[in-house]
Amino acid sequence: MQGRRLATTDEIIAIVSPDSDEALESLTEWTEDRGLELATVAVGDDIGDVYDESRATLGVTLGGDGTFLEGVKTFSPRNIPQLGVNTGTLAFLARVEPEDLGDALDETLRGRASVDSRQQVHVEAPGVDATGINDLMVQQVPPENPIDRKVTRLDVYADDEYVGEFEGTGLAVSTPTGSTGISLSANGPVHYPVNNHTLQIVPLHTHKLGVRPIVVSPETELRIVTQEQASLLVDGGRAHTVLTEGDEITATGADKLAHVVRTSYDDHFFTAITKKLGWDVRDAEVPAAKRREPLSAASKKSITADEETDTVERALTVATEAAKAAGEPLRELHGQVESIDIKTDKSDIVTEADHQADRIITTVIRNEFPDHAVFSEEGARQRGADSDYTWVIDPLDGTGNFAHGNPNYSISVALVEDGKPVMGVVYVPETDELFSGIAGKGVWRDGDPIGTTDRDQLDESMLISGYDPDGTFLSHFYQESRGVRRLGSAALNLCYLASGSADAVWEHDTYPWDIAAGLVIAREAGATVTDQAGDPYEFNFDTEDRAALLGSNGSLHSALLEHLEESVTTPSR
Helices 21-34 and 101-109 meet at what angle, rounded to 10?
40
Task: Give the DSSP letter string of 501-526.
Answer: S-SEEEEEEE-HHHHHHHHHHHHHTT
Helix (H, G, I), strand (E, B) or coil at 423: strand
Known binding residue 150? Answer is yes
Known binding residue 514? Answer is yes
- Whether 529 and 522 have beta carbons less than 8 Å apart is answered as yes
Smallest Cα–Cα separation from 63: which of 41, 43, 86?
Answer: 86
Known binding residue 397? Answer is yes
Known binding residue 448? Answer is no
DSSP state of 428: E
Counting Cα atoms < 13 Å in the Cβ hemisphere of 156 gives 26
Beta-bridged to residue 130, according to DSSP, are: 123
- Whether 274 and 282 have beta carbons less than 8 Å apart is answered as yes
Known binding residue 564? Answer is no
Sort strands 420-428 and 433-438 into parallel, antiparallel or unpaired. antiparallel
- Whether 486 and 398 have beta carbons less than 8 Å apart is answered as no
65 is catalytic: yes
Cα distance from N-terminal residue to C-terminal residue, the chain? 50
Known binding residue 408? Answer is no
Helix (H, G, I), strand (E, B) or coil at 25: helix
Task: Give the DSSP letter string of 286-344.
Answer: PPGGG--PPP-TTTS--GGG-TTS-HHHHHHHHHHHHHHHHHHHHHHHHHHHHT---HH
Known binding residue 66? Answer is yes
Query: Within 10 A of 45 (CB to CB), how many other CB atoms are there?
Result: 14
**Taken in order 357, 363, 368, 374, is the CA torsion positive or negative?**
positive
Sort strands 389-397 and 373-376 into parallel, antiparallel or unpaired. parallel
CA of residue 200 relative to chain centroid, distance? 25
Known binding residue 148? Answer is no
- Alpha-carbon distance of 496 to 502, in angstroms, equals 6
Counting Cα atoms < 13 Å in the Cβ hemisphere of 245 gives 2
Helix (H, G, I), strand (E, B) or coil at 20: coil
Return left, alpha or beta for 483; rule: phi > 0 is left, psi -120 to 50 is alpha, else beta.
left
H helix runs in 393-438, sequence order: 399-403
CA of residue 501 relative to chain centroid, distance? 27
DSSP state of 116: E
Helix (H, G, I), strand (E, B) or coil at 409: coil
Within 8 A by CB and 6+ apart from 11, the residues are 36, 37, 38, 39, 52, 55, 56, 57, 58
CA of residue 6 relative to chain centroid, distance? 11
Counting Cα atoms < 13 Å in the Cβ hemisphere of 63 gives 21
Of the residues 46, 65, 454, 542, only one is catalytic, namely 65
Known binding residue 377? Answer is yes
Which residues carry a binding-site annotation for NAD(+)? 65-66, 134-135, 150
Instruction: Report the binding-site residues.
Output: 65-66, 134-135, 150, 377, 394, 396-397, 514
**Catalytic positions:** 65
- Which residues belong to the annotated binding site for Mg(2+)? 377, 394, 396-397, 514
